[in-house]
Chain A
Amino acid sequence: MSAKALLFATSLLAAAVASGPAALAQAERDAKISFFMFAGSGSDVVPKEVIADYLKKNPKVGIDIVETTNAIIYPKMVTARRTTPDQPLVHCGFFNADTINRGDADDMWETLNKANIPNMANTLPSYARPEARGVPYQAMGIGLLYNTRVMKEPPTSWSVLWSPDSRGKIVTFDNDLRLVGLVSKLNGADEKNPDIGFKLLSENAKNFRALVDSNDALKNLVISGDAPIAPWFSSVSDVWIKEGSPVGFAVPKEGAIAFPIYMAIAKGVTPAQRAVCEDLLNELLTPDRAGRYALVTSSIPLVTNATLSKEQVENPILNPAIAKNAVQIDFAYIATVAADWRDRWAREIKLKMR
């Protein structure tokens, strides 16, 4: 065969091979799925755009959007997995660090196929999931939200949370187990030896003005000044600052806590449903979509080639550097001992608050 012919044949073959999966990918998608996304704070904007575009291209697909919190949907997903394993409640979507790790224990996630989701390769390896049971997407840094009117200067260290000078000044979510892990780590221990963390928080339990269950309750307490300091997400803080609330966000000198969100596909999907999910995940991982999601939710993209706007580069809260220098908490381990820690939280902290 001539070189030209060989080249032509090879390129034909390559094209055939390349277009094979692509052709397969663009073959008629026909499935109905439920897609989970977080409610509010811009978390729905980009996913809904992606879904709308996808439905135009794939008219036979049905996508039911489930828009709420992980805390609400996850127990229901587990129940569905136990009672109707072939009909998962949610087929794919976003899951935060707590949930994705709990899902490992409850056997909830499919291993993702890198061939079908090529953009997975562009995510930060330090956040990768074991056995690719999900892909990292965005992260928020957890730092210190504070009231700019009450606090003359921004807090500089995490230790303000357990300092005896902070009586009645702190608000956080009830069962904030991350906090226990953090305090332990910052005081010479770690997640597997949380006693020091519990001890310091217990002795200073009266620092907590209240333990709340919703973003709005926390927001009210910080903005009114009743509890001027809270460990909180960079992204949500940024949204509130832009709204004009008298709050600021400080990255403590020890570093922010990295709080990633992942995307995952639930076990029990049919091949057709899986294909749709893989398409959606892959699309969300493209640089433009990832960058835009980060901008709209004020998060930090864990997609390395995400398209960043000028503001995203310049704003320290939105800068990917936070993710790189963050304190890593072993959420996976905490998930396994969460029930015991919650029990200790009730006994050692809530009882001492009264």
Chain B
Amino acid sequence: MAASSRRDGGAAGRAKAERSAWVLLTPMCLLMAVAFILPVGLFLLYSFYRFRGGRLEETFTLETYWRFMTDELYLITIYDTLQLAVLATLLCLVISYPLAYAMWRMRSPGLQKLIAFIVFAPVLVSVVVRSYGWTVVLADQGPVNFILTRLGLTSGPVSLVYNMTGTVISLAHVFLPFVVFPILASMLRLDPTLREAAEDLGASWWKTFRSITLPLTLPGVVAGAQICFTLSLGSFVTPAILGGGRVLVLPIQIYTATSDINWPVAAVGGLCLLVMAFIAVVAFGRLSQYSEAV
């Protein structure tokens, strides 16, 4: 037995190892099939039906797809969904990077832990509670508008909530920990002697940041941005509570359609989101490769 396996170079052993790998994968494959592939297939089926007069008609039609591509309401919904994801990601990055940088450069470990807690604590509270909190903070009569008017930056209260602005702000806040920590991780991985070398060679803080720190932490930035973007695409609670009816995103659209039992619209909307998320994943994958090669 031993002799023969030695003769064929251990191929029998390798084949056995491969088989056991497949056996171990089977439960996962089954779960994926039942929980993901089957429902998506059902979705696909429903997307070809028609919904008229409050009833589902099981006739084959591409009407819903056509409407999604031409109807102003659906196009605006797709646009809003993308706009929300892009704006939330940008705002989140703009806040997260300096925050991560501050945490990285902080000398006292006590202060570092405090900031980490402040960044992470919102995760402990449900997103519904947080969203309501923002409606209070950003209200016309709320503290933010109070400060803005007192400082003379605006002549009266600015509409910061129940629109895209408030939704973007709250969403960026929700995803802050998911973006801060990947960026911080990539900063901690930076070889500290690189910054010393830069300083020794006479680089100012800005040159060191621009030429060394930023390019080498870019992979962390891309990772964080990917998380924020793809999660923003699917966010429901925040635009529902803070949008005030002005933010028309796909998840809300799908929810309304489902409550109406309008399966075709819900299905096409869901597929639309799936495609957008897939494209986002591929795009960010490319971006990630590029950022690591830099």
- A touches B in complex, CB < 8 A: yes
A residues whose Cβ falls under 8 Å from a Cβ of B: 71, 75, 78, 105, 174-175, 208-214, 216-217, 220, 224-226, 335-340, 342-343, 346-347, 350-351, 353-354
In the complex, A318→B114 CA distance in Å?
53
Q: Is the CB of B259 within 8 A of A71?
A: yes
Instruction: Provide a sorted-by-A list of 7 A–B residue pairs whose CB atoms are within 8 angstroms.
Output: A210-B244, A212-B245, A216-B132, A224-B140, A226-B139, A339-B54, A343-B73
Q: Is the CB of B140 within 8 A of A339?
A: no
Q: Is the CB of B53 within 8 A of A336?
A: yes
- Whose C-beta in chain A lies nearest to the C-beta of B164? A354
In the complex, A309→B24 CA distance in Å?
70
**Chief secondary structure at chain B's binding surface:** loop
B34 located at the interface, meaning its Cβ lies under 8 Å from any Cβ of chain A in the complex: no
**Chief secondary structure at chain A's binding surface:** helix
B162 located at the interface, meaning its Cβ lies under 8 Å from any Cβ of chain A in the complex: yes
CB neighbours of A214 from chain B (8 A): 241
Q: Is the CB of A210 within 8 A of B54?
A: no
- Whose C-beta in chain B lies nearest to the C-beta of A348? B73
Residue of B142, B240, B259 contacting most chain A CB atoms (<10 Å) = B259
CB neighbours of A351 from chain B (8 A): 72-73, 76, 248
In the complex, A71→B256 CA distance in Å?
11
* Residue count of chain B within 8 Å CB distance of chain A: 28
Interface string of B65-76 (1 = CB under 8 A from A): 000000011001
B292 located at the interface, meaning its Cβ lies under 8 Å from any Cβ of chain A in the complex: no
In the complex, A335→B248 CA distance in Å?
23
Interface string of B252-269 (1 = CB under 8 A from A): 000010111110000000
A105-B54, A225-B141, A346-B73 known; A339+B245 contact, CB < 8 A: no
In the complex, A335→B244 CA distance in Å?
24
CB neighbours of A174 from chain B (8 A): 245
Q: Is the CB of A209 within 8 A of B244?
A: yes
- Whose C-beta in chain A lies nearest to the C-beta of B157? A226
Q: Is the CB of B54 within 8 A of A226?
A: no
Beyond contacts A220-B139, A350-B248: 10 other A-B pairs, Cβ-Cβ < 8 A, are A174-B245, A209-B244, A210-B245, A224-B140, A342-B260, A347-B72, A350-B246, A351-B248, A353-B246, A354-B246
